Amino acid sequence: QVQLVESGGGLVRPGESLRLSCSASGFGSDYYTFVWFRQAPGKEREAVLCINKSGGMTWYADSDDSVKGRFSILRYDAKNTVYLQMNMMKPEDTAVYYCAVAKSYYCSEHPSDMRSWGQGTQVTVSS
């Protein structure tokens, strides 16, 4: 049973940084592809970026222009943990952030392609 637990959410001011963690258990995380999603109030869940088992990263269309250059994803397989580093944060980054594991090796932006989800962590960017 794959289990994911996110942590690190909170309230930050515009321009500040935040690092989210996703701790995995029940499997060897180095075999899997991880995707960070976010869901803002009243909006659909959207993929933010993905890291595959080889360390390759993919940013997704809806968020590409707004997060590339500010967000990055790191994986630390020895700790079965994946991180989402968010810099120069903006109010539009406010959302619940979810960590997910894909069903296959390939990155995907579709929630239906994920095999497991974390419970989500709230991130609020406000002055």
Which helix or strand (DSSP H or E) is residue 108 part of? none
Q: Which residues of 99-119 are buried (b: 16+ CB within 10 A; e: fewer)?
A: bbbbeeeebbbebebbebbbe
For residue 3, which amino acid is it? Q
Is 24 in a helix, a strand, or coil? strand
Dist. CA 106–CA 102, nearest whole Å: 8
Q: Residue 55 pLDDT > 90, yes or no?
A: no
Residues 70-123 have pLDDT tens digits of: 999 998 877 788 999 999 999 999 999 999 999 988 899 999 999 999 999 999
* Residues 32-54, mean pLDDT to the nearest whole number: 92
